[in-house]
Amino acid sequence: MRPTILILMAVSTAFALGGITSASAQNATDPLSATLPADTLAIVNGVAIPQARLREALHASRQPDTPQARQFFKQELITRELLRQYAEKQNYDTKPEVQQAVSVAKAAAETELYMRNNVHPEPVSEAQVKARYDEVVGTLGHEEYKLRIISVADDAAAETVLAKIKAGIAFDALVRQYSIASSKEEGGEMPWVSFKTPITEGKTQGVPLPVAEAAIRLPAGGVTPVPIVVNNVRVIVKLEAKRATQVPAYDEMKDTIRQQLQAAAFNKAGARFVGGLVKTAAIQE
């Protein structure tokens, strides 16, 4: 079990058993703590936790801002601060692995801030967003496909998986057991995709050409009888379902497309910026 999950479980248990007393609980009995300073979430052994930490935690979690979510993250922040204090009392902050983590985090933060302040890509126009929308819509066919995939490293693993599929073992269970793809935790499920036929390289919404060609030939519920080789990986494809293509309206897609174009523009400008730094740097390899 991951350490973060262990901490969250400890948070819930500690508060449920009354092992940790939050500022709100103290307020009922301690007149000195009845009023917290402005924009302070809680004070733990004299150390203030700013409200901004709660807003950051909510934003990072992508959960709705509800009283329950606020209370959960408040408890977590209090517990983390309490654990930090006890760890530092035993000099954990001086341990080499902690110092290394601090160094890595510091380097990442300062690099990100430096790039954000010095890389200035061209702004993305509404015309560019609309052009990209039209380009994507232009690649769609009459039908769209819901796929699941299992990616394995070699033929032996692929043969094992196919044998278990024939034996009736659930496809998503085999994904979680054997797949090496990033979609493993989602049971190999992919977003709906659509392509014009005949299939054309570069117009398959990022799906490898042989996978797209297999998808349009499969019946709903069907599985490719042999693995498909993609970049030395063996891919087994299941067609979960197919339906008439549902084209989202421009207003539904424009914000997502704009973000994608802005990210691409930043990456392009960032590459130019870094290239300029490399030219003037003394680098030995």
137 and 70 within one domain: no
How is residue 58 written in tokens?
A: 């909510």
Cα–Cα dist 88/181, whole Å:
40
The per-residue pLDDT for range 48-62, each reduced to its tens digit, is 999 999 999 988 887
206 and 144 within one domain: yes
| Residues sharing a CB contact under 8 Å with residue 191, sequence separation 6 or more, in sequence order | none
Going by the DSSP 8-state scheme, the letter that residue 249 receives in this structure is: P
Between the alpha carbon of residue 95 and those of residues 79, 103, 256, the distances in Å are 21, 12, 43
- Asked whether residue 37 is assigned to any structural domain, the reply reads yes
The per-residue pLDDT for range 213-241, each reduced to its tens digit, is 999 999 999 999 999 999 999 999 999 99
Range of the domain at 179: 131-244
- Identify the residue whose tokens are 């979680």: 176
Q: What is the pLDDT of residue 59?
A: 87
Cis peptide before 37 (omega within 30 of 0): no
CA-based Rg of the chain, rounded to a whole angstrom? Answer: 26
139 and 72 within one domain: no
Whether the full predicted model's pTM is greater than 0.85, yes or no, is no
Cβ–Cβ < 8 Å for 71, 22: no
The per-residue pLDDT for range 180-213, each reduced to its tens digit, is 998 888 899 999 999 888 888 888 888 999 999 9
Cα–Cα dist 71/18, whole Å:
15
Query: How many domains does the structure of the chain reveal?
Result: 2
- Asked whether residue 61 is assigned to any structural domain, the reply reads yes
How is residue 226 written in tokens?
A: 């042999």
Residues of the chain short of pLDDT 70, as ranges, are 1-34
- Asked whether residue 260 is assigned to any structural domain, the reply reads no
Q: In this structure, what CATH number is given to the domain that contains residue 196?
A: 3.10.50.40
67 and 158 within one domain: no
